[in-house]
Structure 1
Amino acid sequence: MNIPSKTPRTTKSALAATWLAIAALTLSACSSPAGDDPPPGGDPVAAPGTCETPDPVNFVRSTGAAFEILYIAEEQGFFDEHCLDVTITPGSTDTSQHIPMVLNGQADMAMGDPSNILHSIAQGIPIKVASQFSAADSSQPVTDGVLLPPGSPVETGADLEGKNVCLPALGGWMELNARYAVHADGGDHTKVNLIALPTAALQESAESGQCDAIVVFQAYYMAALNAGFTALHNGTNDFDGLPTAMVIASEAWLAQNADVLARFVQAIDEAAALANENDQLTRDVDARYTQLDAETIATRDIPPWNAVIDVEGTQKAADLMYEYGVYTAEVDVAAAIADTALTK
Structure 2
Amino acid sequence: MHTSRNPRRRTLITLTALAVTASLTATACGGDSDAATTADGKAKVTVLRSNGAIFEPLYIAQDQGYFKAAGLDVTIKAGAQDTSQNAPSVLNGEAQFAMTDSSGFLKGAAQDMPIRIVTGLQSATTQTDPTDGLLVKKDSAIESFKDLEGKTVGISALGGTIQFICEYLVQKAGGDPTKVKFVALPTTSLTDAATSGKTDAVYSFGPFYFAAKDSGLRSVGNGMNDVPGIVQGVLFSSQEYLSKNADTAKKFIDAVAKAIAYANAHPDAVKAIDKKYTEVPDDFIDAHDINHYDKNLDTTVMRTVITKMHEFDLLDNEPKDDAIYWDQAPTTAGE
Give TM-score, length-normalised by structure 2. 0.88
In the alignment, the residues of structure 2 paired with residue 29 and residue 339 of structure 1 have an alpha-carbon distance, to the nearest angstrom, of: 25
Contact 2:271–2:286 (Cα < 8 Å) also in 1: yes
Mapped contact 2:84–2:107 kept (Cα < 8 A): no
Q: 1:191 to 1:313 in 2, by over 3 A?
A: closer
Quote the residue 1:316 is aligned against: 304
1:272 alignment partner in structure 2? 260
Residue identity over aligned pairs, in percent, reads 35
d(CA) in 1 for partners of 2:247, 2:292: 26
Counterpart amino acid of 1:319? T
Correspondence for 1:26: 34
Specify the alignment match of 1:34 in structure 2.
none
Q: How far is 1:102 from its partner?
A: 0.9
**Of 185, 201, 223, the match for 1:213:** 201
Contact 1:314 1:333 in 2 (8 A): no
Partner of 1:10 in structure 2?
Answer: 6
Equivalent in 127, 130, 140 of residue 115 of structure 2:
127
Q: 1:94 and 1:212 mapped to 2: Cα distance? A: 22
Shift of 1:333: 3.0
In structure 2, C-alpha distance between the alignment counterparts of 1:155 and 1:136, rounded to whole Å: 22
Find the aligned partners of 1:25 and 1:217 in 2 and give their Cα distance: 37
Structure 2 residue 170 is matched with structure 1 residue 174 = no
SS in 2 for 1:17: helix
Indicate if the aligned counterparts of 1:315 and 1:331 stay in contact, CA closer than 8 A: no
Measured against aligned partners, the alpha-carbon deviations of 1:123-151 in whole angstroms (never above 9, x if no partner) come to: 21111112221111122211112111232
Q: Alpha carbons of 1:197 and 1:206: their partners in 2 closer, same or farther (altered >3 Å)?
A: same
Where 2:8 maps in the other structure, the secondary structure is coil
| Aligned residue type for 2:222 | N
| 1:196-211 pair list within 5 angstroms | 196-211=184-199
Aligned-residue RMSD, C-alpha = 2.0
Within 1, Cα distance between the matches of 2:199 and 2:74?
Answer: 38
Residue 278 of structure 2 is matched in structure 1 by 290
Report if aligned partners of 1:29, 1:259 keep a CA contact under 8 Å in 2: no
Amino acid across the alignment from 1:177: I
Q: Which runs of 5+ in 1 are unaligned?
A: 1-8, 31-50
When structure 1 is superposed on structure 2, of 71-80 and 131-140 the one drifting more is 131-140
- Once the two structures are overlaid, the 10-residue window that deviates more, 259-268 or 327-336, is 327-336
What's the CA shift string for 1:222-268, capped at 9, x where partnerless?
A: 11111222222222112221111111111121121111110000001
Partners of 1:86 and 1:102 in 2: how far apart?
Answer: 15
Q: Take 1:290 and 1:257, find their aligned partners in 2: how far apart are those partners?
A: 32
8 Å contact from structure 1 (residues 131, 247) kept in 2? yes
Specify the alignment match of 2:57 in structure 1: 69
Contact 2:15 2:108 in 1 (8 A): no
1:32-181 paired onto structure 2 within 5 Å:
52-181=40-169
Match of 1:238 among 226, 234, 238: 226
Q: CA deviation at 1:335?
A: 4.1
Worse-superposed segment, 114-123 or 308-317: 308-317
CA deviation profile, 1:277-331 (whole Å, cap 9, x unmatched): 1111100101111111122211222222112222223223323323444322113
1:224/1:334 CA distance change after superposition, 3 Å: farther
Equivalent residue letter for 1:10: N
CA–CA separation in structure 1 for the residues paired with 2:117 and 2:206: 22
**Offset at 1:163?**
1.7
Q: Distance in 1 between matches of 2:330 and 2:131?
A: 24
State how far apart, in whole Å, the 2-side matches of 1:147 and 1:61 are: 25
Q: Are 1:319 and 1:331, in contact at CA under 8 Å, matched by a contact in 2?
A: no
Distance, in Å, in 2 between the alignment partners of 1:152 and 1:181 is 18
Whose helix proportion is higher, 1 or 2? Answer: 2
Q: Which residue of the partner structure matches residue 340 of structure 1?
A: 328
Conserved? CA contact 1:261–1:340, under 8 Å: no
1:249 aligns with 2:257: no
- Alpha-carbon distance in 1 for matches of 2:145, 2:263: 36
User: Where does structure 2 lack aligned partners over 5 or more consecutive residues?
Assistant: none
Give, in angstroms, the shift of residue 334 of structure 1. Answer: 4.9
Q: Secondary structure at the match of 1:260?
A: helix
